[in-house]
Structure 1
Amino acid sequence: MRIFIFLFILFLASQVLGQNKTLYDFSAETITGETFDFSTLKGKKVLIVNTASECMLTPQFKKLQELYEEYGGDDFEIIGFPCNDFGKQDPAGNDVIYDFCTKKYGVTFPMMAKIEIEGENVAPIYKWLTSSEENGVLDANVTWNFQKFLINKNGEVIDFVSPFKGPKSNRIIEWLNEEE
């Protein structure tokens, strides 16, 4: 009987420890300094994108904002993470980045504080986004600014889209129109 109880406890422990994190396990600092708890996004599809203000892909901010205006609300959210890791194309501080995004591109979707995506100081949310050991689904190298990650309504990573495909790519629009 003791062996059965021991095996049962071991089984339960492995189930709990083997569970993967979801988006809802994270929080981040917004670009204006508040704490953003991702659990507030439960039930929404979420597009996470690493951004840069001085990149050839920076005009994607306009398409991201258009996508947000068309689909954003109760069912969809975009989260931007400024990053200076690729080509050193976002060297400014958070307030300068915020002014740039809001004034030049009219960005109204949530922007987080600048983070690191590569190296020793990778932000925890990007460790999760890019590692199947963390997210249970996929491994993804962030190759450049404006790589997009698709998160389902359960807070699970389901796919990513190349930086060189725009925010209104077929994959993203199809995903937004899929029922979950």
Structure 2
Amino acid sequence: MTGIYDIDAKAIDGSTVSIGDYRDKVLLIVNTASKCGFTPQYEGLEALQKQYAGKGFSVLGFPCNQFGAQEPGDEAEIANFCKLSYDVDFPMFAKVDVNGDNAHPLFKALKKAVPGFLGSESIKWNFTKFLVDRRGEVVERFAPTTKPEAIASDIEKLL
């Protein structure tokens, strides 16, 4: 399996970013959507970012339109929504697929490392969260219903 640090992703501004740029940080990688019942979690994700960024932590947001077409906009619209609605300052990436043949390699690696319920690798909905330690090891997968603030103690253990 390819380590997550060997994977590139397109940032929301179109530039290419190596996940390796986040080496030695604790990461919370989340598939997001702007028109989802869980969208208010952006507020909690940004609160985690503000609270722990100085200690070597970052949220990475990956918009996804695979669940109920809840992320219909283009990257500019998504970036604008995130900034204006939730003052998102954590890194956001271009829209990706998280399931299926066209799933982004990062999400393929995350799902393989920590399968979901009953060993299923598929992601069930928006705002599934993957917690990654400073070595790039995926240590936990959280359901969309898990609020960001409930993950704070898990983050603190890794910092």
Q: What range describes the TM-score normalised by the shorter chain of this pair? A: over 0.9
Confirm or deny that 1:176 pairs with 2:152: no
Confirm or deny that 1:98 pairs with 2:79: yes
Counterpart-to-counterpart distance in 2, 1:179 and 1:96: 34
Confirm or deny that 1:164 pairs with 2:145: yes
Q: What is aligned with 2:50? A: 69
Counterpart-to-counterpart distance in 2, 1:150 and 1:79: 10
Question: How much has 1:41 moved relative to structure 2?
Answer: 1.0
Structure 2, unaligned stretches of length 5 or more?
117-121
RMSD, aligned CA: 1.3
Match of 1:35 among 4, 9, 16: 16
Q: What is aligned with 1:155? A: 136
Question: How much has 1:22 moved relative to structure 2?
Answer: 2.2
Any idea what SS the aligned residue of 1:72 has? Answer: helix
Confirm or deny that 1:121 pairs with 2:102: yes
Deviation per CA, 1:48-99: give whole Å up to 9, x if none. 0000000011000011111110111351011000000011100110100000
Any idea what SS the aligned residue of 2:48 has? Answer: helix
Q: What is aligned with 2:123? A: 142
Question: How much has 1:175 moved relative to structure 2?
Answer: 1.6
Question: How much has 1:27 moved relative to structure 2?
Answer: 1.1
Q: What is aligned with 1:6? A: none
Structure 1, unaligned stretches of length 5 or more?
1-19
Question: How much has 1:159 moved relative to structure 2?
Answer: 0.9
Any idea what SS the aligned residue of 1:178 has? Answer: helix
| 2:10/2:16 contact within 8 Å kept | yes
Corresponding residue pairs, total: 154
Q: What is aligned with 2:119? A: none
Counterpart-to-counterpart distance in 2, 1:56 and 1:77: 23
Give the TM-score, by structure 1 length.
0.82
Give the TM-score, by structure 2 length.
0.92
Q: What is aligned with 1:51? A: 32
Counterpart-to-counterpart distance in 2, 1:161 and 1:127: 16
Counterpart of 1:50, as a letter, is N
Larger Rg: 1
| 2:131/2:139 contact within 8 Å kept | yes
